[in-house]
């Protein structure tokens, strides 16, 4: 069976998904046995374009070896992936290494419903398999029936996902262990289209947050992205003290505006802070 085409899946770290479902369409590259792809990945209020390059190797025990690398233009860590194509399951599985050395694993399958709710491979045992099977079957039945209770639960899950995503990535109280588990469950339940939809809603919500209510952790997240976004337009000198960061951001924004570059739009919505 051809190993190229569209896949849906997750990348896992520490037993949980690092983000919502990802959709790939792997194509044949210009060289023999090479693979290429590109697309957009969504997580919380972020969306990042990526490129995939890689190659396939010979059969090993009935499996085709697959080596891939996901590259992002800015901010996110590149990901190296080593695994195999399983013709019986029609899936890609293996291990990953982030560019900072952090290990992980991945699972991608042809049908999003076959990988949705799927646990990290390293955590799978008899209990995990049974839990996955029962959850997947019940979810499929409820999804096809489109009962009012199912629709209401989807709405509540979406709201809860946005709450936890904002607290985890932007501002608010740090997630406790139970909330981390809940967040991972919600991540594994999202389709790629859901992740895209909620990323838009989170960005809208963040655009309405007055900057004076944003804590220091978000300020430094904004600062990092501001440096990357503005570095090609105006010279940037980060502040030496955290208490100066807000003034620096305001000053940099003024310098951006004064540059009067018609080809550049100010991405304050994507920087996650409210307009002033």
Query: What pTM, to 2 d.p., does this model score?
Result: 0.72
Q: Residue 24, SS3?
A: strand
Q: Are 77 and 97 in contact (CB under 8 A)?
A: no
Task: Choose the final residue of a domain: 158, 178, 205.
Answer: 205
Q: Residue 113, SS3?
A: helix
Based on the domain organization, do 20 and 109 belong to the same domain? yes
Residue (of 265, 263, 275, 73) closest to 249 by Cα position: 275
Based on the domain organization, do 187 and 216 belong to the same domain? no
Within a domain: 131 = yes
Within a domain: 145 = yes
Based on the domain organization, do 155 and 33 belong to the same domain? yes
Task: Choose the final residue of a domain: 166, 182, 205.
Answer: 205
Based on the domain organization, do 12 and 137 belong to the same domain? yes
- What integer pLDDT is reported at residue 271 of this predicted model? 38
Q: How far apart are CA 44 and CA 196, in angstroms?
A: 9
CATH number at 129 reads 2.40.128.120
| Portion of the chain with pLDDT greater than 90, in percent | 34
Tally of CB atoms within 10 A around 128: 14
Cα-based torsion angle of the residue sequence 54, 36, 89, 116 in order, rounded to the nearest 10 degrees = 110
Based on the domain organization, do 192 and 66 belong to the same domain? yes
Based on the domain organization, do 215 and 195 belong to the same domain? no
Based on the domain organization, do 66 and 200 belong to the same domain? yes
N- to C-terminal Cα separation, the chain: 55
Residue (of 164, 161, 172, 275) closest to 221 by Cα position: 172
Task: Choose the final residue of a domain: 175, 205, 235.
Answer: 205
Based on the domain organization, do 57 and 20 belong to the same domain? yes
Based on the domain organization, do 124 and 247 belong to the same domain? no
Higher pLDDT, 235 or 139: 139
Within a domain: 115 = yes
Based on the domain organization, do 166 and 73 belong to the same domain? yes
Domain count along the chain: 2
**Average pLDDT score over residue span 135-143:** 84
Domain span at residue 94?
Answer: 1-205
Q: Which helix (H) or strand (E) holds 91?
A: strand 91-98
Based on the domain organization, do 11 and 97 belong to the same domain? yes
- What integer pLDDT is reported at residue 188 of this predicted model? 92
Within a domain: 276 = no
* DSSP states along 157-180: HHHHHHHHHHHHHTSSSPP-HHHH
Instruction: Write 71-75 long-range contacts (CB < 8 A, 24+).
Output: 72/48, 73/48, 73/49, 74/48, 74/228, 75/48, 75/224, 75/225, 75/228
Mean pLDDT lowest for which of 72-81, 91-100, 101-110, 257-266? 257-266
- H helical segments located in the chain: 112-115, 126-145, 148-169, 177-189, 192-207, 216-230, 245-259, 268-271
Tokens of 48: 């990042």
- What integer pLDDT is reported at residue 181 of this predicted model? 92
- What integer pLDDT is reported at residue 45 of this predicted model? 85
Based on the domain organization, do 41 and 4 belong to the same domain? yes
Higher pLDDT, 165 or 218: 165
């Amino acid at each position: 069976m051809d190993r190229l085409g569209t896949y849906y899946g997750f990348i896992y770290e520490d037993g949980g998904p690092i983000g919502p479902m990802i959709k790939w369409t792997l194509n044949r590259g210009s060289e023999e046995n090479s693979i290429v792809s590109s697309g957009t990945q969504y997580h919380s209020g972020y969306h990042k374009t990526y490129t995939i390059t890689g190659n396939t190797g010979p059969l090993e025990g009935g499996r085709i070896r697959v080596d891939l690398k996901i590259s992002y233009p800015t901010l996110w860590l590149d990901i190296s992936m080593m695994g195999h194509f399983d013709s019986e399951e029609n899936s890609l599985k293996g291990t990953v290494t982030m560019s900072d050395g952090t290990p992980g694993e991945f699972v991608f399958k042809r049908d999003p419903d076959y990988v949705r709710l799927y646990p990290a491979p390293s955590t799978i045992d008899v209990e995990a398999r049974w839990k996955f099977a029962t959850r997947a079957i019940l979810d499929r039945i409820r999804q096809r029936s489109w009962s009012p209770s199912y629709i209401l639960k989807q709405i509540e899950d979406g709201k809860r996902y946005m709450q936890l995503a904002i607290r985890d990535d932007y501002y608010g109280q740090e997630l406790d262990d139970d909330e981390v588990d809940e967040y991972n469950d919600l991540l594994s339940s999202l389709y790629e289209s859901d992740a895209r939809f909620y990323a838009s809603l989170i960005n809208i919500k963040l655009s309405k947050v007055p900057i004076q209510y944003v804590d220091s952790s978000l300020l430094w997240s904004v600062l990092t992205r501001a440096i990357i976004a503005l570095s090609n337009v105006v010279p940037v000198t980060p502040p030496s003290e955290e208490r100066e960061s807000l003034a620096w951001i305001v000053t940099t924004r003024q310098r951006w505006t004064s540059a009067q570059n018609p080809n550049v739009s100010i991405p304050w919505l994507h920087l996650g802070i409210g307009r002033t």
